[in-house]
Structure 1
Amino acid sequence: MMPSSFQIRTAFRLARREIRGGFRGFYIFLACIALGTATIAAVNSVSRAVTSSIASEGQAILAGDVRFELRNREATPEERSYLEGLGDIAVSTGLRSMARAPSGSEQTLAEVKAVDGAYPLYGTFEAEPNRPLDELLAKDQNSYGALAAPLLFERLGVKLGDEILLGSARLKLTGSIVNEPDALSDGFGFAPRLLVSRDALVASGLIQTGSLVEHAYKIRLADPLKRASITADTNKAYPDAGWSIRTSDRAAPSLTENVNRFSQFLTLVGLTALIVGGVGVANAVRAFLDAKRTTIASFKCLGAPAIIVTMTYLFQILFIALIGILIGLVVGAIVPLIAMQFLAGVLPVPKEITLYPSALLIAAVFGLITTLAFTILPLGRAKEVPATALFREQGFDEGRWPSWPYLLATGLLLALLAGLAVLTAEDRFIASVFLAAVAFAFVVLRLVASLVRLIARKSPHVNSTAMRLAIGNIHRPGALTPSVVLSLGLGLTLLVTLSLIDGNLRRELTSTLPERAPNFFFVDIQGSDLEGFRNVVKQNAPNGTINEVPMLRGRILALNGQDVTKIDVPPSGRWVLRGDRGITYAGDMPENTKLTEGSWWAADYTGEPLVSFAAEEAGELGLKIGDTVTVNVLGRSITAKIANLRNVEWESLSINFVMVFSPNTFRGAPHAWLATLADPEATPADEGQILRAVTNAYPTITSVRVKDALEVVDRLVGQLATAIRAAAAVALIASVLVLAGALAAGNRARTHDAVILKTLGATRITLIKAFSYEYMILGLATAVFALAAGGVSAWFVIARIMKLPSAFLTDVAVGTVVVALVMTVGIGLLGTWRILGQKAAPVLRQIGE
């Protein structure tokens, strides 16, 4: 039955009068709503700020309106003429190679970038000293000018004005790089930047047959309106060019996608905090209605319809919730302004103060729906309890479930909350799994609470008075057990999960993985140098194992004849289609290869091109035996049929490829070789000697020390883990607030218990012991659940998603137990300290009344 306008006006008038009494009892309610709303608003605002800056500053980030990238070959005269016809052009070439001190004593991997005189078309390149770029890169009598990142100076132990070697070229360090406008669009690098002229790169001799080189042609369009159609027009004109085309509105697609994914994760964590806070909302509403039981009973006795009573308190709660949401939105709008100061040197951020209404609106809607979802049931209980029961009972704890309309409304609101979270997510599958896990955790935590109460009820008699009181408090009617277990359970589970994931990743990167991984990767080995390279390595690592494979680069253009840009691929498989992939060919099945489907071709096979595809990636792309894959290699498009699928152990860091082709596919194609060296007995000094020997003998071979690369990854994982732990802390703070709210909700009943027990002779010490034992038992029970649930969740992420070895880390277990005990006992005693000081007379008189 819908309420009439008169009933709505009456309820609103009564709510307005009652709200004048202030927010007593609702401070935790406000904090829970404000915290969750602020988290979601802040995360989404920062994400919008970064992604909008990438879009608005796309020209500077890309250093052009459009970028054409070719791997392992330069544009043909016809292609170059076409590009020049589009507008002004700047050409740059990128590769990885070894920068060396002239003495040969020190060397380091460098991300080399060679530019021409037109660079950059947009944005500003900054160096120290601040001189024109063409002057800094100019050639003098003996060497070419070069600019380097500060880290390269540090690794080579050189200073400004010193000379270094790159391939066969001698470079003079004329300055250090301060700002490279297109660094983000060039992608992540494992080594420091070394900037040289294109003439210097040619003189170095690094560009050889099969070298892994990226040629970028950046255009400032004469007609900016062409940007929208230039990709389609160019691919239509040159379908076999094999170039990757990127326009300034998608200057850094990988970065944008990663920002969106990370913000999605943080949003889900914020939503978890909001849902955990919803339990605090329910506790606060219950306590509020419990305190108003006499007023509610009076309303009913005076003939007020139940619907007016319900709406009166609903209006009050919504008013207070709106204040909490407003506080959260203000905080959520301010936090990004602070975050921008820290992100300014790392990511593109707005230069002026900007608000993002859509991000704030989403946060406000989440906050409002959460409030309603966790308010309906307590209001339903209050509505259906008769006036006589309200006068007679202590509260609503033992009331039955409200009628089905309230249950239905709660279910619909929770479904709406989940639906909104999924619809606004970057990856809806991950969002769905995350929310399903939270819902499952809620159910399991309720079961854990029930199990703890059952065990307490069935426990044997103990002699300690304090312990008997504690056990009784755990299972008695109206006990805090469900609220404490639920409030702490989700926060601690999330903390354990993230800590175990972080710990396992660090363990894999710093101990386990280096033991299995090769010591070195050697790239750009020319066929004519292969035998000499083997001899140098064998002389310096006689016990080492060398593994060599031919190496080409190719980009997937089509699957089963369908353009990959028009295929909807799950996020987990997009990396295979993004940019160029390393590919190889083999006559015999490589060692340690395990086929999952199909068979390997004969060593002397001469039929149509065949390819072996990684099984997991094939599943993500929807490929099967007999399907076709079209790749562009060195400007030539080749279509091959999938002959078999195989398992690939990416985590081993050995030589692995998504695609291995039959040898006849690339017969006669120029290519270089890729090799690894594995020597478990090699010491750091031995590795240094190997690096010097190879680099000095073959300056054009790029040597990558695996431990150096792992250190870079470990540093990035550490930075990411810090951000994730900060997000997890939000959920934990929400748990603390809910725990405090649960204690506040039960204060009145605790006060009565304490007064009666003191009247019967119990001392304050006995009561403190009883409350401490109770909170310790609940904390331990919750910690055990968090360890079990968090351990399973972390195992699933590490073992099933990341495909890495997973281990349970004892230090995480101990830390979680300590956190649980400190939180429950500490907060519990703080909340009950005031109760123990209550005088008996006033409370006894109130009970008598």
Structure 2
Amino acid sequence: MVDWKWSLLMAKRDLRKTGGRLVLFVSAIVTGIAALVAVTSFGDNLSKDIDEQAKELLGADLSLRKNQPIEFPDIEDRAAKRALEVNFASMVYFPAVGESRLTQVRALEGDFPFYGQLETLPVAGDRDFRKGGRRALVEKTLLAQFGVGVGDTIKVGNVSLEIVGSLQKVPGQNGITATVAPAVYIPMDQLEASGLVQYGSRVNYVHYFQFAEEFDLEALIAEKEETWEEDKVRLETVQSQKESTGRSFQNLSNFLVLVAFIAVLLGCVGVGSAINVFVKEKLPSVAVLRCLGVRAKEIVFVYLVQIFIMGFIGSLLGAAAGAFLQFLLPLVFSDFLPVEVTVQISWRAVAMGTLTGVLISVLFALIPLLKVRKVSPMMTLRPDEATAGFGKDPLRWMVLVAILLFIFGFSYYLLGEWDQMFWFTGFVLFSFGSLWLLAVGIMKAIRTFLPISLNYPVRQALSNLYRPNNQTVSLLATIGLGTAMIGTLFFIQDQLLDEVRFADKEDQPNMLFFDIQTHQVNSMKAVLVAEGLPILQHVPIVTMGVAEVNGLTKQDNEELAEEDQRSSSMYNREFRVTYRDTLIATEELAAGKLLPFGESDSIFVSMEEGYAERNNISLGDEVVFNVQGRPLTTYVGSFRKVNFRRVSTNFLVVFPDKVLENAPKFHVLITRTDNDQESASLQNLIVRQFPNVLSSESEHDRGNP
């Protein structure tokens, strides 16, 4: 039996003398626990605020969206309030500065949002806008970009509107969305006058509904969902909006927590290193105690109590630092968040951080601390007896297994998915194992091959890497894993930037005009030629959907076994296709061949290889397309590899030439300008002559969009 009273008294006395030596041990815990508590608290607060502000995210109880005009009279009869939004991308023009910009135009009718509000400056801007007439609300980022303000004029299509308010916040929209696709709200009574909605225009019609509190919305959805699905009406409720938003930001939270957990693991290495040095300094004292008849387990308990106390203090300090640090995170991520995050202490996060800190203190301290059990009284005379047989100590391996179980368990707690947990822990173990082998190899190589001819300072410095009490393994593991984490973050950043880097070659197109109507094509080409610009591509685009694949409708597909099913998105999505008999620079034929129309009685289309593979499509499969109400039977004749990262009109499906010439369509023209000034001048010219035509460009000489 352990004499607990004696052990606690010894721990107290020894801690007063040697507690200062455990400062490194405490500091190793503080940083990791602070990061863990901060990001966990931030995640908890974000989840809570998404739940509480879910209605403000959608702005209504139900939204129904379709890309064609549609009415819901039976829903309107049951709703307390309704509103309609018609939104589409369009160029707008600021006459005061002579500049134009691609925006998201939203024509609004009704009192949307029903929950929350369109926050404007001045506050009266929203009220003035609701009166209708030639008034507009414009995103604040857009006003700042062009140096215009309330009272100035904006031209949307053929109509000039007075800016009556600067939009500060829109339900469900964050700062990044506002920057990439700034919104311009116009009254519904000005939509027809703008001339922007024409046959073939890409427009979304969104119906918003608010119901009485006692209304059974779930029953309504169950009643209508199948019909809406057949009509390709997309629905959103408060619950679905909350879940989708929660999933999106849960990924961010999980990523931050994993980064913090890696910081904790790096702290664990520091814990083990600090305790290893501490224990080695205590070995002579332990030998003396063994001579006095004190049992090994009592001595282990003495130092274990000290480690527990210091670990608890370090965990509390880290939790306190993390609770303070979380106040900064909403400021860092404010542009990404669609809700206002209320920062408050998450006691769950504090408790988890404190418990984690104490647990890792004990677990990672036990490995060096177990050496104390092998110290014999003979060490007072023979120092080499100190750690004899430690490598074969079964308790050591039990502790190592406990550490592995902790890493696995904590990873699963954070991620909640077995496959992700195995990937993450596998990466951690592989990294630590590789760095340990590297450190051992370096020490062995230096011991074996260190040249005697080196000068004294260099030789001594290298020799210290393998001499007793060296910290080579712990330092290399800590620095290596930290560098790997930072390097991974930079690698991800470069990958994301590379995904949008598409104007880095002089001969590559950098300006694209789309939504050009058929009667406007020749006039548009004439403008580009008059400006001395090349027409690099002219592409007609037809909108259609998939009705059947190999004779199977969407309903038939859902009845198949899961491994035989195609993704339901193939039946639900709206395809935009073109027609031609040749490949372009961003394409490469992967299988089959392009078959021009007329060489066979059938129509053979070309499909993007990856998309076909994801949907179990093979060469020769029959696909019936619904071309705006008319069925068109085709067969898959080839697969293409497509580089979607380059500025070009890339398509999942390409028809042979002459098949879709009479189908309703819009056109795309691609050109290249030499500099930003020429690009801006061209956009302003086009938006004045063709207000419905949209343009997209990339920054010159930098390769960023």
Is residue 204 of structure 2 the alignment partner of residue 208 of structure 1? Answer: no
- Mapping of residues 531-550 of structure 1, within 5 Å: 531-550=522-541
Larger CA deviation: 209-218 vs 181-190: 181-190
Letter in 1 for 2:93: R
Aligned residue for 1:819?
A: none
Q: Aligned equivalents of 1:437 and 1:179: distance in 2?
A: 41
- Which of the residues 31, 51, 58 maps onto 2:27? 31
Q: CA 1:518/1:230 → structure 2, altered by over 3 Å: closer, same or farther?
A: farther
Letter in 1 for 2:683: L
Instruction: State the aligned residue count.
Output: 696
Is residue 666 of structure 2 the alignment partner of residue 672 of structure 1? Answer: yes
Q: Measure how far apart 1:127 and its partner are.
A: 1.8
Aligned residue for 1:129?
A: 122
- Which of the residues 371, 380, 386 maps onto 1:381? 371
Q: Measure how far apart 1:186 and its partner are.
A: 12
Aligned residue for 2:101?
A: 108
Letter in 2 for 1:522: F
Larger CA deviation: 223-232 vs 189-198: 223-232
Letter in 2 for 1:475: Y
Q: Measure how far apart 1:188 and its partner are.
A: 6.2
- Which of the residues 438, 449, 463 maps onto 1:472? 463
Aligned residue for 1:70?
A: 66
**Secondary structure in structure 1 of the residue aligned to 2:274:** helix
- Which of the residues 160, 179, 183 maps onto 2:150? 160
Is residue 687 of structure 2 the alignment partner of residue 695 of structure 1? Answer: yes
Is residue 416 of structure 2 the alignment partner of residue 416 of structure 1? Answer: no
- Mapping of residues 810-849 of structure 1, within 5 Å: none
Q: CA 1:347/1:208 → structure 2, altered by over 3 Å: closer, same or farther?
A: same
Q: Aligned equivalents of 1:498 and 1:127: distance in 2?
A: 37
Q: CA 1:631/1:179 → structure 2, altered by over 3 Å: closer, same or farther?
A: farther
Aligned residue for 1:55?
A: 51
Aligned residue for 1:490?
A: 481
- Which of the residues 675, 682, 706 maps onto 2:674? 682
* Residue pair 1:185, 1:252 contacting (<8 A) in 2 also: no
Gaps of 5+ in 1: 714-849
Q: 1:252-293: CA deviations, max 9, x gaps? A: 666533422222222222111111111111112112222322
Q: Measure how far apart 1:205 and its partner are.
A: 1.3
Q: Aligned equivalents of 1:396 and 1:332: distance in 2?
A: 40
* Residue pair 2:286, 2:375 contacting (<8 A) in 1 also: no
- Which of the residues 227, 238, 245 maps onto 1:248? 238
Q: Measure how far apart 1:115 and its partner are.
A: 1.0
Is residue 446 of structure 2 the alignment partner of residue 456 of structure 1? Answer: yes
* Residue pair 1:550, 1:673 contacting (<8 A) in 2 also: yes
Is residue 696 of structure 2 the alignment partner of residue 704 of structure 1? Answer: yes
TM-score by length of 1: 0.72
* Identity between Structure 1 and Structure 2 (%): 22
Letter in 2 for 1:703: S
Q: Measure how far apart 1:401 and its partner are.
A: 1.7
Larger CA deviation: 93-102 vs 430-439: 430-439
* Residue pair 2:157, 2:195 contacting (<8 A) in 1 also: yes
Aligned residue for 1:285?
A: 275
Letter in 2 for 1:464: N
Q: Aligned equivalents of 2:115 and 2:50: distance in 1?
A: 14
Q: Aligned equivalents of 1:367 and 1:136: distance in 2?
A: 56
* Residue pair 1:161, 1:172 contacting (<8 A) in 2 also: yes
* Residue pair 1:610, 1:665 contacting (<8 A) in 2 also: no
**Secondary structure in structure 2 of the residue aligned to 1:292:** helix
Letter in 2 for 1:487: T
Q: Aligned equivalents of 2:578 and 2:334: distance in 1?
A: 45
Aligned residue for 1:657?
A: 651
Letter in 1 for 2:696: V
- Mapping of residues 478-557 of structure 1, within 5 Å: 478-502=469-493, 513=504, 515=506, 518-552=509-543
Letter in 2 for 1:67: S
Q: Measure how far apart 1:329 and its partner are.
A: 2.3
Q: CA 1:217/1:706 → structure 2, altered by over 3 Å: closer, same or farther?
A: same
**Secondary structure in structure 2 of the residue aligned to 1:120:** coil
Q: 1:735-774: CA deviations, max 9, x gaps? A: xxxxxxxxxxxxxxxxxxxxxxxxxxxxxxxxxxxxxxxx
* Residue pair 1:609, 1:664 contacting (<8 A) in 2 also: no
- Choose between structure 1 and 2: higher helix proportion: 1
Q: CA 1:578/1:459 → structure 2, altered by over 3 Å: closer, same or farther?
A: farther
Q: CA 1:129/1:512 → structure 2, altered by over 3 Å: closer, same or farther?
A: closer
Q: Aligned equivalents of 2:556 and 2:430: distance in 1?
A: 43
Q: Aligned equivalents of 1:562 and 1:448: distance in 2?
A: 54
Is residue 253 of structure 2 the alignment partner of residue 263 of structure 1? Answer: yes
Q: 1:120-165: CA deviations, max 9, x gaps? A: 211122222221635235455xxx1112123333444544323232
Q: 1:166-186: CA deviations, max 9, x gaps? A: 111121222221222343599
Q: Measure how far apart 1:438 and its partner are.
A: 2.9
**Secondary structure in structure 1 of the residue aligned to 2:135:** strand
Letter in 2 for 1:410: L
Q: Aligned equivalents of 1:640 and 1:392: distance in 2?
A: 88
Letter in 2 for 1:74: P
Larger CA deviation: 435-444 vs 121-130: 435-444
Letter in 2 for 1:476: R
Q: 1:77-115: CA deviations, max 9, x gaps? A: 4x3443553442111121111111448942221221111
Q: Measure how far apart 1:219 and its partner are.
A: 1.4
Q: 1:52-71: CA deviations, max 9, x gaps? A: 32222111121101221212
Letter in 2 for 1:276: L
Q: 1:565-620: CA deviations, max 9, x gaps? A: x989xxxx999889966521435354243243455565359999987554345556
Q: Aligned equivalents of 2:234 and 2:600: distance in 1?
A: 31
Q: CA 1:403/1:128 → structure 2, altered by over 3 Å: closer, same or farther?
A: same
Q: Aligned equivalents of 2:657 and 2:289: distance in 1?
A: 88
Is residue 302 of structure 2 the alignment partner of residue 306 of structure 1? Answer: no
Letter in 2 for 1:128: L
TM-score by length of 2: 0.85
Letter in 1 for 2:122: P
